[in-house]
Structure formats: structure tokens, C-alpha cells
Amino acid sequence: MKRYVHILLAGLWIAATCHACMKYGPEEEIPFDFSNDPHGVFITNEGNFMYGNASLSYYIPDQKEIENEVFSRANGISLGDVAQSMNIRDGSGYIVVNNSGIVFVIDVNTFKIEGYVSGLLSPRYIHFINDSKAYITDLYASRITVFNPRTLEITGHIPTEGHRSTEQMVQFDQYVFTNCWAYDNKILVIDAEKDQLIDSIEVGIQPVSIAIDKYDKLWVLTDGGGYSGNPAGYTAPSLYRIDAASRKIEQEFTFNLGDAPSELALNGKKDTLYFINKSVWRMDVTDRQLPQTPFLQYNGTLYYGLAVDPFSSEVYVADAIDYVQPGVVYRFTPEARPLDTLRTGITPGTFCFK
Amino acid sequence: MKKKLLLLPLICLSSAASAQQDSVLRTLDAGEVMVKSQRLLKDIGVQKTSLDTFSLRENVTNSLADVLSQNSSIFIKSYGRATMATASFRGTAPSHTQVTWNGMKLNSPMLGMVDFSMIPSYFIDNANLYHGASSTGVTGGGLGGAVTLGTQAIQDNGFGLRYIQGISSYSTFDEFLRLTYGGRKWQSSTRLYYASSDNDFKYTNYRKKIFETDENGKITGSSYPTERNKNGAYKDLHVLQEIYGQTGNGNRWGLSVWYLNSTRGVPMLNVNYKDEDQSKNEQKERTLRAVATWDRLSEKLKLAGKAGYTYTDMRYIYSGDAGDHQPIEMIHSQSYVHTAFARFDTEYYLNKKWLFIVNISANQHFVKSMDRAVQTVIGDKSIIGYDKARLEMSGFASVKYRPTERLGIALNLREELYGNRMTPVIPGGFIDYLVSEKGNVVLKASIARNYRYPTLNDLYFMPGGNDTLRTEKGYTYDGGVEFTLKNDRMTFRGEISAYDSHIRDWIVWLPTFKGFWSPVNVKKVHSYGLEIKGRYAADFSDAWHLMLDGNFAITHSVNHGDPINWADESIGKQLVYIPVYSAAVSGKLRWKSWLFGWKWNYYSERFTTSSNETATKIGVLPAYYMNDISLEKRFSFPWADFSAKINVNNLFNEEYESVLSRPMAGRNFGLFLEIIPRFRYRQP
């Protein structure tokens, strides 16, 4: 009998020794210092919704080198769930992590956390008004959050009167324009001096992306609802050119029904507009019709993100592949000549140039 | 007389399983390990794992997910305590495991899968796992396998009562009550289970930090916070009423009605920085399942009919408060499912060598699925979704032939209809051969082709549903050997099987250029591996008894689809969240009225990316080792049996995540008290 009891006890002992096998715990912190690289590019990798696997990549164009997961490696914690966007101001990077409900502030050279803004519902984008005021839009809250970048304290809110989804922001004079994407058709106009919603511009269904060019023309891209049965409607998408001063639509460029344009971006001089519509397209901001020849031909890959380096006007295009493996970013000259290909984190989405 | 004996194995099997019911459950000896030297015609070549009563009644808190995880080679992907648990059978997707309850399909017509955490193990009297090709004898679409669950009439006469109360860590309370009546002509059983928990266990959060700042707001230090599991509270109520009757001439009737009402918080990720009162993520389900059964046994013929109905109302709400105390619904997904079910079975024993089986089943689904958290452009509430009905039918014919005592051959044919489409014929071939009567060494092999048709969400979900999807196609080969060694004091039963399976047109939801996700037939998966099962039971003396039950599996489930583009590194890689190696061992040691139990469970690392990225921490979940122990003392009085049991889960207080960003509970405890009064108490 004792023999069998010993077998059982031996089994328990083996199990106990395996205790040490279950590797889980603090992540090692790695020191970075990229203060000698003035033109680095941050790539926010969204990760997958409810997976908590967002990450931040840092690319040095001059050296064609990339460092992945720099946030977690520098700080010993995860970036969070769905890294939505990033902005830089005064040497600090503001990373909006949508479903974690937080904005991390990091040193752009060491990637070390300097602070954070919490108490947010579903933050999307940041826009800086001045050194002591910035706005954060939200996918679900019917208000824009106002915070002080110096203290990182929330100082107020701007009600958006029933418009739940506020997205990207651009500024003309004292007026901030933001697009209401989800089930909406409005561009809201905020007076940044009074922190008040003062006007709105009706455009097509679901304005998905906005930009403002060197001539102070506001460009708005709608996705037309995306599918038949959308309660907001389903129409052909459009690109709008709106005069920011008068807030009047000057021209509407209509796509085909079923197209899904997105990701408006301007080059460094803000005279050339880029967007994705299966292929990557480019047009001069003075053009009076949509381009006929793509900048980058669709080849079966779903391009997910697009940005243009404001310093070099080089073009970065993100490919999320199957969205459950590290994605790829392609870098091109303004003449569409390939320069580099980078392996990033999962679902590379937006770019931020240092 | 001879003819009557042909049906005996069937009846014996049913009786034997019943005999293992609650009253006999309390014993543990070698004789209890069911060793069926009688090789049933019905099971020729079938790779089948039967979960015994010990496994199903191990703990009142267990769901079927816990039982399968510990007692089978099925990998259970669990998101935490009382949260969704799905099965991967031989490395396949959750929708590739078909599950029936008293013959009626449990798989959601919308999603195709079953949440095993919603099935209390105390509500199941018999459970069988049909591996790979063997599932075609149960239903179509089980590209990984099938699980049959059932309830059955009690064998005891008179009134019976069993009551268990459990008090566990994190304010967890479990109540189980079973009232039974057994008479000569009819039997009744009422089971009630109620579980509630705050489920707010503490854990060290290694995904976040608390920062210390100086007077200028500069960060001067940091540490990992100790947090509580947020938003994880749950309340589950299950009621099961069964009535069985015999009306003579071999006719038996039954009615089983199972109602569940569940409200479960979906715990916040450990990378979520919102306060608990700022975010609510909740799943509510109300389900009613009812099955009426009729069986008629005669000399050569067994007839059975079933009719059933399922109603499910499921709600998933994700809401948040932006700080103005006005909760905002971000997701409000609601679905209503009505399913009418009918099935007819015939088994005809021509003689002791031939068995013919024919059955046909039908499920008529009515599904309404919608997201209510939608506004129109003018701010009105709106909904999007679909409202569809679909008839699903399955016809099955099988011939089983045992030309000699040693050899058995079987052929299955199945045909399925869904909506106005039909799958191709699903054929299956089975063979077994008794190599040696000594040790009861039996070789088994099988081969089958199988198809799984798309779910209603695959076809019609708004947005993204794709009504041009094709059926998934699989074929699988099995081969294995089983043996039994037995003497007066001990029994050892072992089984080794290998399989090779190919699935084409695997349905995967992928993003479209329009921004939303849509299902497509893209993946080609090769799944192959080894399954080893062993059970050892010994009586060392009248007082000492030992039982060890173990399983080990090697599961390669490899993506061989076409790459999406040149950069796609998922080809040739293991599927996400499928461990290559898994093992579990359960041990029970009884000394007189004391019972010590130990459970050990292991999974090798699981990849979280399709390219099996290992360079980053979030790409791999480390290997998982878990130990649970229990100690039970029974007290027996002439008028009642009592027991008191203490459980220690996660004995070594492991810190871990079983799914990315889902923290799991550390060491936790449970105390369970049970009483079984003897209503038919007689003075000795």
C-alpha cells in the first residue's frame, strides 16, 4: 500500500516542482535613447479589440531600422487594447489607447511614460489647441474632452449635441473641425476659444476622414455607409472639398457605389492629397476630378493605414495581412519608388512623425 | 432467448450507467471502473470516450468545460471563472465540435458553437465524446468530433433528496437540490442549481503600473498594482425537470425540460483603465430546452422518437459612462432563437452479426439577431440585424457487421440539408479487430468524409454576412488500440489513437476593404496527432482504494491555406490558441470514509498570432500547469448520509492568464456540505 501512496505523493511533488515552470510576471524594462535620431516615425499597432495586444513601433528612416513593442519594453507594461492614434507635442508623444480608455504620454526619445490622461470612455484622436489646451474625441460619448497637456488634468467637456461619434480634428483659425463617422453625416465646428460647438456641415453618409490643405480647404471623405441595410443609409462615397472659412461645399467628387475610400493624408507641402480606395490614390488639391491612375496599385492586399512624412513627403502604407499576425509597412518615395518594408506589430494603423 | 440477448448489451449499458448514479457514486473501487469486454455491435470501430459519474459529479461548481478540460483530450479555451469556455476537438474550431443533449443539438444556429461553461456537470447523467470520424454516427459537421450529453431516469425506488451547499472564495455560493421519485411505472427528477459570485479575486496586474510623482508631477517611481477582477460577478440559475414512464409492451416515455437564466459580467481586461462603475460588460441569457422522448424495445427492433423545442434570448451589453453619469450603450446585441426539433431512430438487429440503423432528424430555426445600440443620422434609435428561418435536416443509415467474434465492420452514410442546399453524402467506414482476448486488445480504425455548413451569422450577419459561402469539407483517418488488464485487485485500461485530418474551405472571418469583417472560405488546415488515455483503479485492502485517470494529447493543427500575400507568415503554422501538447491527471485515494482528490492539468504554450510570433511576450501564452486538491469526509447515519468537502483550487497560487489580458484567480478555497436523507429508513 505504501508504495502506491508514495507514487501519489511523488506525483504531487512533480506537480509542485512544475510550479516554477509557469512563466508569468513582470516584464523586463529596457532603456532606450533615440535623442540622436530627430526624424523617427512612430507606428501605432492597434492589435485586436478585446485582446489587449496593441503595441508601438519606432522606425528610423535614415537607418532603415525598426524597434517593435517599444512602449512595453521601455516601461514593463502593456500598451493596452486598441492603440488608435498618436500625436507629438513638445517632445512628448500622446498615444490614445481606445478601449483601455487612456492616453499615455511618453518621452519620444526614451519611450518612458511621463504621465497619462484617464477617465475617458472610448477616446479616438487628440488635437492641441495651445500649450495648455487640447481636445480628445470619443467614439461613443456625446462630448469632446478638454484637457491641459501641462498638468494632464481634464478641464472640461464640449457637448456635441447628440453626435456620439467624433473622430479626427483639423483646425482653421480658431475653429476646429471634427468628423462624426458612425451612423452620422456631419462635420462639427468647434470654437476653440469658447470651447463650444458653433456650427455643423452636412456631408454624405459616414464621413470617415478629414484633412485641411495649404489653401485652407477642408477635405472630407465619406464611406457611404459601407453596406446595404446600414440605418444611416447606403450611398456612393464622396470626397468633398469645403472652404474652411465659409464652410461651404465647393465640390463633391463621387466614387462608385460599393467603393470604400478612407485614410486621407496630405504631403509635407499640403498640396497633394492621398487616400486609399483599394489601391492608394493621389491627386493635387487643385484637381477638379478624381485621379484615374493609382499611386499604388491594389494587388490583393488590404491597405489599412496611410500617412505621408511631413518632412520628406515619403509615403507609408500599412498592411495588416490577416490582422492576427504582425503587419507590414511599405515605405515609398513621393514618386512611388519602394524604399523599405518593415515588419511591425499587429494591425499597424496610424503613423506619427517625430 | 438468443434474440433477446442481442438487445441485452444495450440495456446493460444503460443500466450500468444508471447504476453509477448518485447513490452508488460514493463508492470507489476497482470494480467500479466499467470494463466492457462485450464489444457492442453499435460501437464497431468507434473512438469514444465516456465520462464516468465520478468525473461528472466531482464538484457541484463544475461546468462541463471543467470536466472536459480535466478528463478528455479536448482543449477548452476559457476566458476565466464563469465566462465563455469553448472547445477545440483535435485542434479544430469551436464550431467543429457538435454537441447534443438528449439527441437535440445544442450548437447555436447563429454561431455554431457551444459555451460549455453554461452546462452544469450535475445536470448531465451521461456524456460521450466521439472523436473525429466517429462523430458522423452522431451528427454531421463534427469535423473535430461530437459530444453527446444525456439525462436518464433514476433507478432507485421511492423518494430521494440530495442537497449540496457550497461556500467558496470571492463570495461564491452554490446550491444544488435534487428531488427524485422512482416507482414501478414512472420516475421523476427535479434538479435545481443556483450559483452566484462577486468573482472579484485579487491579482497582481503585471500589465499596468502605479506611478509615484513629485510635486511637479514628474514620475519618480512605479510599481505593479494589486487589483481586483472587475465586472466579473455572475448569477446562474438552472432548473431541470424530468419525467419518465413505462406503459408496457416495451414502451418508455420521457420528458426533460431545462431552463437556465444567467447574468454574467464579462470581466474587464487587465489593460482597461476605466473604473468599474464607468464600464459595464454583461451577458444575459435565458434558455428553455424541452425534449420529449419515446422508446420502444422489442426482440429485434428498437424504435425511438424525439420532439423538442429550444428558446434562447441572449443579450450582450457593453456600456460606459463618460463621466456625466449618463450610461451610454456602445454595444447592445440581442438575439432570439426558436428551434423546433424532431428525430426518429430505428435500430434493427437481424441477428447477432448484423445491425441496421436508420435515423432522421430535423431542426427548424427561427432567428432574430440585432444590434440595438445604433442611431440614425438624425439621432433616432435604430437597429441592424437579420431575421431568418432555416430548416436543417440530417438523414443517417448505417450497417454494422461482425462476421467473426474478433472482427467488426461498419459503414455509415449521412446526408444533410440546410435551407435549400444539401451537403454531399457523408460516408464513414469503421473496423475493429480483437487481437487478443487476454488483455482485451482491440485494434480500431476509421475513415470518414465530413461537411459543416455555414451558420446563420456566417450567411446573414449585418454587416458582413456572406451568403455565397461553401460548406467546409473534411476527411479524417483514425487508428488505435485499446486494452484492459484486470485482476482481483486492480484494473488498468489504456487506449492510444492516432488521427490525421484535412479540412478545406475552413470559414474564417476576415476584414474587407470596406472596413467590416466578413466570412470567407479560405483556410486549409491539416490536423494530426496522438491521443493517449489511461485509467488505473486498485483496491489495496478493504479500506484503501486508488484511482488514477490520465490523458495526454499531441495536437498539430497547421494552416496550409493560400497566403494572403507575400508577407503572410501564417502558412505552415499552428493555429492560434491550440496547444501542441496537453495532459491531465486525476487521482482519487479513498481510505474508509475519507476521500482525497488531486487534479493536475497541463497545456503547452499557445500562440496568440497566426504567424506563431515568439519574439514578443504577447505572442505566446506560457505553458500552463494547474493543481487542485480536495478532501472529503463522509458520515453515514441510518437516516441520512452527510459529507463535508474542502477544495483548494490553484494549489500553488499560480499567477497567469489563460487568454491574453484575462487574469485568472490565484489560490482559492471552497467548502461543500451535502446531505442525502434516507426516506426508506429501516431499523437494522
Among B331, B384, B275, residue whose Cα is nearest residue A49: B331
Give the residue, B143 or A301, on which the prediction is more confident. B143
What is the DSSP secondary structure assignment for residue B289, as one 8-state letter?
E
Closest residue to B320, CB basis, from A24, A55, A140? A140
Work out the average pLDDT over A328-341. 97
Q: Which of residues 636-675 of B touch A (CB under 8 A)?
A: 652, 654-657, 660-661
Closest residue to B328, CB basis, from A69, A72, A141? A141
Residue B613 to residue B608: CA distance in whole angstroms: 8
Which residues of chain B make contact with A299, given a CB cutoff of 8 A? Answer: 565
The list of chain B residues with pLDDT below 50 reads 1-37, 681-684
What percent of chain A lies above the pLDDT cut of 90?
Answer: 84
State how far residue B207 is from chain A, nearest Cα, in angstroms: 5
Which residues of chain A make contact with B375, given a CB cutoff of 8 A? Answer: 162, 164, 183-184, 231
Q: Which of residues 26-65 of B touch A (CB under 8 A)?
A: none
The answer to whether B274 contacts A101, with C-beta atoms less than 8 Å apart, is yes
Beta bridge partners of B307: B292, B342
pLDDT digits (tens, 9 = 90+) for B407-419: 999 999 999 999 9
Extended strands (E) in B119-250:
126-131, 145-150, 158-168, 172-182, 186-197, 202-204, 210-213, 219-223, 226-228, 234-248
Residue A137 to residue A128: CA distance in whole angstroms: 12
pLDDT at A5 over 90: no
Residue B12 pLDDT: 37
Q: Which of residues 354-383 of B touch A (CB under 8 A)?
A: 374-377, 379, 382-383
Q: Does B466 touch chain A (CB under 8 A)?
A: no
Closest residue to A260, CB basis, from B328, B515, B608? B515
- Cβ–Cβ contacts within 10 Å for residue A39, how many? 13
The answer to whether B564 contacts A346, with C-beta atoms less than 8 Å apart, is no
Among B544, B448, B555, B341, residue whose Cα is nearest residue A8: B544
The answer to whether A229 contacts B379, with C-beta atoms less than 8 Å apart, is no
CB pairs under 8 A between A and B: 247
Residue B595 to residue B29: CA distance in whole angstroms: 12
The answer to whether A231 contacts B516, with C-beta atoms less than 8 Å apart, is no
Query: DSSP string of A334-351?
Result: TT--EEEEEEEEESEEEE
Residue B11 pLDDT: 34
Q: Does B589 touch chain A (CB under 8 A)?
A: yes
pLDDT digits (tens, 9 = 90+) for A153-172: 999 999 998 888 999 999 99
Do A311 and A352 form a contact (C-beta atoms < 8 A)? no
Among B554, B558, B550, residue whose Cα is nearest residue B576: B558
Residue A258 to residue A234: CA distance in whole angstroms: 9
Using CA atoms of A116, A120, A124, A127 in order, give the dihedral in degrees to the nearest 10. -60
pLDDT at A37 over 90: no
Q: How far apart are the first and last CA of chain B?
A: 40
The answer to whether B324 contacts A11, with C-beta atoms less than 8 Å apart, is no
Backbone angles phi, psi at B604, to 5 degrees: -75, 180
Closest residue to B217, CB basis, from A27, A115, A141? A115
pLDDT digits (tens, 9 = 90+) for A45-89: 999 999 999 999 999 999 999 999 999 999 999 999 999 999 999
The answer to whether B206 contacts A25, with C-beta atoms less than 8 Å apart, is yes
The answer to whether B568 contacts A114, with C-beta atoms less than 8 Å apart, is no
Q: Does A28 touch chain B (CB under 8 A)?
A: no
pLDDT digits (tens, 9 = 90+) for A229-273: 888 889 999 999 999 999 999 999 999 999 999 999 999 999 999
Q: How far is CA A17 from CA A12, B390, B559, in A?
A: 9, 54, 35
Residue B610 to residue B603: CA distance in whole angstroms: 18
Backbone angles phi, psi at A9, to 5 degrees: -65, -35
Residue B8 pLDDT: 35
State how far residue B676 is from chain A, nearest Cα, in angstroms: 30
Work out the average pLDDT over A39-44. 96
Residue B514 pLDDT: 78
The answer to whether B322 contacts A121, with C-beta atoms less than 8 Å apart, is yes
The answer to whether A100 contacts B271, with C-beta atoms less than 8 Å apart, is yes
Among B141, B86, B206, B135, residue whose Cα is nearest residue B576: B86
pLDDT digits (tens, 9 = 90+) for A175-205: 999 999 988 999 999 999 999 999 999 999 9
Amino acid at B31: G
Which residues of chain A make contact with B383, given a CB cutoff of 8 A? Answer: 231
Residue B372 pLDDT: 73
Closest residue in B to A81 (Cα–Cα): B271
Q: Which residues of B103-133 are buried (b: 16+ CB within 10 A; e: fewer)?
A: bbbbbbbbbbbbbbbbbbbbbbbbbbbbbbb
Q: Are strands B210-213 and B219-223 parallel, antiparallel or unpaired?
A: antiparallel
Cα three-residue angle A326-A92-A129, rounded to 5 degrees: 110
SS3 for B603? strand
Beta bridge partners of A275: A281
Among B350, B431, B399, residue whose Cα is nearest residue B6: B350
Residue B184 pLDDT: 87
Residue B155 pLDDT: 84
Closest residue to B269, CB basis, from A11, A52, A55? A52
SS3 for B56? helix
Q: Which residues contact B43 (CB under 8 A, 6 or more apart)?
A: none
Beta bridge partners of B280: B319
Q: Which of residues 61-100 of A touch B (CB under 8 A)?
A: 68-69, 72, 75-81, 97, 99-100
Peptide bond into B463 cis (omega under 30): yes
Tell me the residue length of chain A.
Answer: 354
Residue B375 pLDDT: 63
Residue A3 pLDDT: 61
ipTM for the complex shown: 0.91
Q: Which residues contact A292 (CB under 8 A, 6 or more apart)?
A: none
- Cβ–Cβ contacts within 10 Å for residue A228, how many? 11
Residue B637 to residue B615: CA distance in whole angstroms: 61
Which residues of chain A make contact with B388, given a CB cutoff of 8 A? Answer: none
Q: What is the pTM of this model?
A: 0.91
Do A267 and A306 form a contact (C-beta atoms < 8 A)? no
The answer to whether B565 contacts A299, with C-beta atoms less than 8 Å apart, is yes
Q: Does A115 touch chain B (CB under 8 A)?
A: yes
State how far residue B316 is from chain A, nearest Cα, in angstroms: 14
Q: Which of residues 276-305 of A touch B (CB under 8 A)?
A: 278, 299-302, 304
